[in-house]
Amino acid sequence: MLLYPNAKINLGLNVIRKRSDGYHDIETLFYPVPDLCDILEIVHADAFRMQVYGAQVEGENLCERAWKLMHDRFGIPPVAIHLYKKIPMGAGLGGGSSDAAFTLKGLNTFFKIDLPDEELCALAATLGSDCAFFIFNRPMLARGRGEILTPLDFTLGDHVLRIYPQEEFVSTREAYASLTPREPVRHIDSIVKLPVAAWRGLLVNDFEETVFARHPRLAEVRDALYAGGALYAAMSGSGSALYAIY
């Protein structure tokens, strides 16, 4: 079985409060990026094994955790997973979460478990805060720690340019370290109903303030995108990828 886990961008990201479980309550609009994908292959094997090509992943890969979850819940046999990484890591594009969610979806089909998306979504949420989004893989307003999802009838009809400065790596832990949670002045679902040209100054990513202070080059790139005629430009997630809408 061959799958193509795609990236996402965040349209706005409000970090609202820190929770008692150590996570944060957020609000964001997850938007799929279908033309930027990893390549994931699942085949039968005598023992579980995983091979990653391209960028290497430190520690236990989320795909392995996804297989262990399905193995423990449903007794599925071992598989070999081959993952070719094309989505940059440390970029706020959700590559690892997408890989995990697509592994769950792939194993569900491969072994004919036939779980509905809602149950796969609940399993995905145990693997990572934005994993659940990739089960549905359509524009979703996300709340809670990212797992409370509401579909939005929303399409970016304009041209979207993505930039990943390879010399800049931002860890999610670093991005949260000096951030002060706050209630949003205006909620994202109301802002995106406005013309894209009106988003600047309203649709904010709370991570930009702290990440740009540590990585001023990213702020320079965003400003250059605006200078080049972008209607809206922002950092995706906790960075370091940026995007611009024209």
Residues recognised as catalytic = 8, 130
Altogether, the residues listed in the chain come to a count of 246
**Cα–Cα distance, 82 to 2 (Å, whole number):** 9
Cα dist. 134→46, 70, 105, 120 in Å?
29, 17, 10, 10
* Residue whose tokens read 């085949």: 43
CA 83 centroid distance within chain = 17
Return the number of other C-beta atoms located less than 10 Å from residue 83's C-beta.
25
**Cα–Cα distance, 230 to 225 (Å, whole number):** 6
Read out DSSP for 129-176? TTHHHHHH-S-EEEETTTTEEEE------S-EEEE--TT----HHHHH
The residue type found at 193 is K
Q: How would you classify the pairing of strands 79-85 and 49-54? A: parallel
**Cα–Cα distance, 202 to 189 (Å, whole number):** 12
**Cα–Cα distance, 33 to 20 (Å, whole number):** 33
Write down the number of H helices and E strands in the chain. 8, 11
At 221, list the tokens: 């790139």
